[in-house]
Amino acid sequence: MKEHTTTKRTRGASTPAKNFMRPRLVTKTLLTVSLCCALLACVKNPDTEESPKTIINNVNIVDPVKGLLAQRQVVVQEDKIVYVGPIDKTKAVDSDTIIDATGQFLMPGLWDMHVHFLYDEALTDTMPELFLRYGVTSVRDTGGDVKKLSALREALKDAPAPRIYFSGPLLDGEFVVYDGTDPSRPPLGVRVLNAESAMNTVSALKTAGADFIKIYELVAPATYNSLVAAAKEFDMPIASHVPLMMTADVAGPAAGSMEHLRNIELACAANWQELLTQRQAAITGFTEGLGYALRSGLHTAQRVPAINAYDETRCNEVLDTLTNTIQVPTLRLNTVLMLKPFERPDWPSAATALPQKVLENWQARITMLEANRLTIDHTFANWSQFLIARLLERGVPIGAGTDTPIGLGIPGYSLHTELELLVAGGMSTKQAIYSATVTPAKFLGLEETMGQIKAGMAADLILLSENPLENIEHSRSIINVMSRGSWVD
Ligand SMILES: [Zn+2]
């Protein structure tokens, strides 16, 4: 990470908006306007009965579809963008806030498609603020207790926080990987054993407010199909790991997204059929023990051998079945032991935002990793990076997600690392931005209202000092973030 972006970020964060507000026309500070809109109903203009507008002039729009749109005016009212186009001077009234953003860049708020608010409850309360600080205005929580997630979303309804879309628990098989037995692994999963429990579980999740479902690795193939049917019945998108008793080309097409690129390597091996038979026998024959141990045993036994037996023709056949299934590679997670984000120059200042207890815990893990570094195998990390170009060539959609806070993922900060890794893997800067804006909106069927800067869309915006289309690292040059129509200060 280059030092200059860190410096600018800090500078921008400490003096938001000061240098680009036009004092003559500004009737309130941004902070007052934000608080006013967040906590009370915005004061309406008595002449027009309209809520005050935020008008951003002369800004360069970073459009994930069209690229750079220079010198536009963007008008925000309440939580929506109401106008994007040439500067229209008639639009401003006295109660509006006008910002001159000459030379600056406005990007749609980013999504992190893979987060876990409940993975480390010492961090849960800090996560919303951190997401917003880094411009992550929407997240998909891909596994956790549905009641707690629903309560969290409710509690944050009127607070500065990202939009939260959640799945509830990991829907697993007879053995559950995250069953809560080991205190270091939270109880994120539940057992689903047959068609009836699949239907009941998905129905209950829908009632509890879940936006999609998340299927996990030890689910039986018949139950997987039942869950797919139930999700269809209740109109819920599916995020899934590839169940170990299936292959990516069989399970994947039924899902809206698949996570971590994990177990795709098992389907891309020349001997995929033999590996599948072995896994099915191992799972069927497993009668006692921990789901976590069963899964890691299979990963250990098959992952590296499968990558060593990679067959491009076979893999192309697999990838060609996934052109409607978003892959969320979580490259940041897959490469954490190899690329060591904690050695980046901007890591220490980002990590200071973590609660002390979490920071100490992470530091202990970093010390342990350093001690073991010679024995760490990087085959899957390298394969994950390699696969990005293959996905792009075969037209498989890619979404940006981090799995934060798992694997030392600092909320918000780690999404920018993910964007950099996607670009390093072969995506253009525009494709990477698309993967964190339009693609996640599409997963939830929200692409008409989120993901771009257009009239009628959500006012989730990031004002940047530098152009991220030129260099993806500039996504970190944040001056200010707007979430649901209010600036986050
Ligand atoms: Zn996860």
Q: In sequence order, which residues have a C-beta less than 8 Å from that of residue 299 and are 6 or more positions away?
A: none
Say whether 200 sits in a helix, a strand or coil.
Answer: helix
pLDDT tens column, 444-456: 999 999 999 999 9
Calculate mean pLDDT across residues 32-48.
Answer: 46
Calculate mean pLDDT across residues 246-264.
Answer: 98
Across-strand partners of 62? 68
Calculate mean pLDDT across residues 36-59.
Answer: 69
Calculate mean pLDDT across residues 128-156.
Answer: 97
The pLDDT of residue 21 is above 80? no
Centre of ligand 1 to C-alpha 367, Å, is 24
Calculate mean pLDDT across residues 371-394.
Answer: 94
Length of the chain counted residue by residue = 489
The count of other CB atoms within 10 Å of the CB of residue 332 is 28
> Nearest CA to 142 among 120, 178, 173, 166?
166
Centre of ligand 1 to C-alpha 211, Å, is 16
Centre of ligand 1 to C-alpha 188, Å, is 10
CA torsion sign, 319 to 323 to 326 to 328?
Answer: positive
Centre of ligand 1 to C-alpha 238, Å, is 14
Centre of ligand 1 to C-alpha 114, Å, is 6
Extended beta strands in 203-300, E state? 213-215, 238-240, 257-259
% of the chain beyond a pLDDT of 70: 90
pLDDT tens column, 300-325: 999 999 999 999 999 999 999 999 99
Centre of ligand 1 to C-alpha 115, Å, is 6
Calculate mean pLDDT across residues 58-69.
Answer: 98
Centre of ligand 1 to C-alpha 113, Å, is 10
Give the model's confidence band at 42: pLDDT under 50 very low, under 70 low, under 90 confident, else very high.
very low
Centre of ligand 1 to C-alpha 15, Å, is 35
DSSP, residue by residue, 86-126:
S--GGG--TTSEEEE-TT-EEEEPEEEEEE-TTSSTTTGGG
Centre of ligand 1 to C-alpha 116, Å, is 6
Tell me what pLDDT residue 43 has: 55
The pLDDT of residue 20 is above 70? no
Centre of ligand 1 to C-alpha 391, Å, is 21
Centre of ligand 1 to C-alpha 216, Å, is 10
pLDDT tens column, 474-483: 999 999 999 9
Centre of ligand 1 to C-alpha 259, Å, is 8
How far is Cα 75 from Cα 305, in angstroms, rounded to an integer? 55
β pairing state of 213-215 and 238-240: parallel
How far is Cα 395 from Cα 237, in angstroms, rounded to an integer? 21
Centre of ligand 1 to C-alpha 210, Å, is 16
Centre of ligand 1 to C-alpha 179, Å, is 14
Instruction: Walk me through the domains of the chain, giving residue ranges and CATH numbers.
Output: 3-108+451-488 (2.30.40.10), 110-443 (3.20.20.140)
Range scoring the smallest mean pLDDT among 46-60, 141-155, 470-484? 46-60
Give the model's confidence band at 48: pLDDT under 50 very low, under 70 low, under 90 confident, else very high.
low
pLDDT tens column, 395-422: 999 999 999 999 999 999 999 999 999 9
How far is Cα 468 from Cα 62, in angstroms, rounded to an integer? 8
pTM of the predicted model as reported, rounded to 2 decimal places? 0.90
Centre of ligand 1 to C-alpha 9, Å, is 28
Calculate mean pLDDT across residues 278-288.
Answer: 96
What integer best gives the mean pLDDT of the chain?
Answer: 90
Residue scoring higher pLDDT (348 or 22): 348
Centre of ligand 1 to C-alpha 119, Å, is 9
Structure tokens at 226: 């039942």
Centre of ligand 1 to C-alpha 143, Å, is 7
Q: Is 159 exposed, middle or buried (0-12, 13-18, 19+ CB in 10 A)?
A: exposed
Centre of ligand 1 to C-alpha 357, Å, is 22
Centre of ligand 1 to C-alpha 466, Å, is 31
% of the chain beyond a pLDDT of 90: 84
- The helix, strand and coil proportions of the chain, stated in percent and rounded to the nearest 5, come to 40, 20, 40
Phi, psi (rounded to 5 degrees) for 327: -95, 125
Centre of ligand 1 to C-alpha 77, Å, is 35
Give the model's confidence band at 7: pLDDT under 50 very low, under 70 low, under 90 confident, else very high.
very low
> Nearest CA to 252 among 263, 267, 242, 262?
242
Residue scoring higher pLDDT (376 or 380): 380
Q: Which 8-state DSSP code applies to residue 247? A: -
How far is Cα 216 from Cα 243, in angstroms, rounded to an integer? 6
